[in-house]
Amino acid sequence: MEDGQWHVQKRSSFRNDSFVREYGAVPETGCLSIIVLGASGDLAKKKTFPALFHLYRQGFLRQDEVHIFGYARTKISDEDLRSRIRGYLVDEKNASEQAESLSEFLQLIKYVSGSYDSEEGFHRLDKAISEHEISKRSSKGSSRRLFYLALPPSVYPSVCKMIRTCCMNKSDLGGWTRIVVEKPFGKDLESAEQLSSQIGELFDESQIYRIDHYLGKELVQNMLVLRFANRLFLPLWNRDNIDNVQIVFREDFGTEGRGGYFDEYGIIRDIIQNHLLQVLCLVAMEKPISLKPEHIRDEKVKVLQSVLPIKDEEVVLGQYEGYKDDPTVPDDSNTPTFATMVLRIHNERWEGVPFIIKAGKAINSRKAEIRVQFKDVPGDIFKCQKQGRNEFVIRLQPSEAMYMKLTVKQPGLEMSTVQSELDLSYRQRYQGVSIPEAYERLILDTIRGDQQHFVRRDELKVAWEIFTPLLHRIDKGEMKPIPYKPGSRGPTEADELLAKAGYLQTHGYIWIPPTL
């Protein structure tokens, strides 16, 4: 099938067209300029440009509408930028099949060099964008400008000011200007609020898209559907039935090459305060009154507001041995690379149910999952046979899956019980369906004006309120990480905390992702 035909088919099957009609996001056509600031950096090369290319291949970015501009300080040509990113866009396996669309896509990219704090470069950028808009005006007059800040947050205020001063969309063409920013949004409540006010003076909240890429993951996006479209879960999802919830992030590699950045932030700011807390919101929130982004985000904020202050005795910090060997990490670093903590939500649904949050670098496996453990069966007649508890596990990555751990009769003549599972493994159930990259969906949402999967300013503020006291105690050295061996489970104290919080491990059972 030719690329063009494929584009049309994919476009029409995408759910957002009906979302746009029903929930009022503005359906937009016309000239679209996507400006990637920090175009020669790692994030742009590894995530932003590949996501744009995938969107292009699927027909979501139309050749007759879109133009992509890279902006950075390095003085290079259009062709230099294209050859720098080319290798990140296709892997060898698909190189020949995608060669044509790759070269079309690369031709859509122009490069402008300039500094992040002087008007001169941004005026040149504006001129380049305007030329493109004028050249397209004959077809459909509209100026849509999407600025993607693939930059360190320290330059956000000056870059936003430059965009505001020099690069706003031309109102006579109609359309919009939107800004996409990446975490970390500040280091604590005060710095985050300061950053928010600086950007807030320049752009309306409706123009600011704070990306948390976990919100773009397939199984995270599935949470609302799962919880609110299944009668089965409605009566179960509460303190009467659920004993504890774990939200876990594990990586089996350290901070390789990012030690300098990581040491400034640590695992709580890097993973827990944003990615895992966002997941917690979706697990714990009440049903929104509709699917409108504001209704969903209102409910998320309410959950965050109900989180009680974290107790020191419900926190275990760790730092892997060898972390400080990185020359960019200070020898006396107190930065945690591992943390387990209990969050408690003070509301009618969750009072007394611990939400155990765990994140670690350089531990024994790579995975992210939500594990909901149900209470013991009351009046259990099988108890002499050592029952495991029911667990509902949502495996975010790798091997996306949902499985429900059940006790069943061991097949055979004997009446004995065994732990088994109902398993929805995506690779097996949805063969041939490729799961989009988080960045791909989120960029598409920004183009469509759907802020559902982006972090609102008040949400960010409460998220910082939860963690700031703990973070300040760590920064002052009042709480210390426990050393752990790379490749281990992390400090044993974390498992002890887990058990104390009420998690009961089922021994002798392991879920094995099905192979095809």
Question: Catalytic residue numbers?
Answer: 275
Nearer to ligand BG6, 243 or 251 (CB): 251
Taking the complex as a whole, the smallest distance from the CB of residue 51 to ligand BG6 amounts, in Å, to 13
> Would you count residue 270 as binding ligand BG6 (CB under 6 A)?
yes
Taking the complex as a whole, the smallest distance from the CB of residue 149 to ligand BG6 amounts, in Å, to 15
Residues 353-412 that bind ligand BG6 (CB under 6 A): 368
- DSSP states of 397-432 as a string? ESS-EEEEEEEEEPSSSS--EEEEEEEEEHHHHTTT
Site string for ligand BG6, 207-226 (x = CB under 6 A): ------x-------------
In angstroms, rounded to a whole number, what is the distance separating the alpha carbons of residues 31 and 467?
42
Tokens of 163: 């965009």
Tokens of 344: 């408690």
Nearer to ligand BG6, 101 or 397 (CB): 397
* Closest to 30 measured CA to CA, from 70, 78, 65: 65
HSE of 264, CA atoms in CB hemisphere, 13 A: 11
Is residue 515 classed exposed, middle or buried when 0-12, 13-18 and 19+ CB atoms within 10 A define those classes? exposed
Nearer to ligand BG6, 243 or 437 (CB): 437
Nearer to ligand BG6, 125 or 150 (CB): 150
Nearer to ligand BG6, 57 or 213 (CB): 213
Instruction: Provide the b/e sequence for 365-384 (b: ≥16 CB within 10 Å).
Output: eeebbbbbbbbeeeeeeeee
Nearer to ligand BG6, 156 or 350 (CB): 156
Taking the complex as a whole, the smallest distance from the CB of residue 270 to ligand BG6 amounts, in Å, to 5
Taking the complex as a whole, the smallest distance from the CB of residue 63 to ligand BG6 amounts, in Å, to 30
Residues 178-207 that bind ligand BG6 (CB under 6 A): none
* Residues 6 or more apart whose Cβ sits within 8 Å of residue 502: 243, 244, 354
- The structure tokens 């943390």 sit at 339
Nearer to ligand BG6, 126 or 270 (CB): 270
Residues 454-493 that bind ligand BG6 (CB under 6 A): none
Taking the complex as a whole, the smallest distance from the CB of residue 464 to ligand BG6 amounts, in Å, to 16
Taking the complex as a whole, the smallest distance from the CB of residue 339 to ligand BG6 amounts, in Å, to 13
Let me know how long the chain is.
516
Residues 236-255 that bind ligand BG6 (CB under 6 A): 251
In angstroms, rounded to a whole number, what is the distance separating the alpha carbons of residues 375 and 46?
43
In 95-201, where does DSSP find H-type helix? Answer: 99-107, 119-136, 156-166, 189-200
Nearer to ligand BG6, 142 or 446 (CB): 446
**Measured on CA atoms in the order 469, 194, 360, 257, is the torsion positive or negative?**
negative
In angstroms, rounded to a whole number, what is the distance separating the alpha carbons of residues 78 and 58?
24
In angstroms, rounded to a whole number, what is the distance separating the alpha carbons of residues 254 and 323?
8
Q: In what order do the strands lie in the sheet with 175-182?
A: 109-113, 66-72, 31-37, 143-149, 175-182, 208-211
Taking the complex as a whole, the smallest distance from the CB of residue 40 to ligand BG6 amounts, in Å, to 19
DSSP structural state of residue 269: I
- The structure tokens 């500094």 sit at 115
> Would you count residue 299 as binding ligand BG6 (CB under 6 A)?
no
Nearer to ligand BG6, 215 or 497 (CB): 215
Report the largest interatomic distance among the alpha carbons of the chain, rounded to a whole angstrom.
82
As a three-state string, the secondary structure of 166-192 is: HCCCCHHHCEEEEEEEECCCCCCHHHH
CB 228 within 8 A of CB 337: no
In angstroms, rounded to a whole number, what is the distance separating the alpha carbons of residues 497 and 12?
50
* Closest to 37 measured CA to CA, from 107, 119, 116: 116
Taking the complex as a whole, the smallest distance from the CB of residue 251 to ligand BG6 amounts, in Å, to 6
Beta bridge partners of 406: 420
Nearer to ligand BG6, 253 or 382 (CB): 253
The residue number whose beta carbon is nearest to ligand BG6 equals 270
Taking the complex as a whole, the smallest distance from the CB of residue 272 to ligand BG6 amounts, in Å, to 11
Using CB under 6 A as the binding criterion, the count of chain residues that bind ligand BG6 stands at: 4
Taking the complex as a whole, the smallest distance from the CB of residue 265 to ligand BG6 amounts, in Å, to 8
Instruction: Note the residues at the interface with ligand BG6 (CB under 6 A).
Output: 213, 251, 270, 368
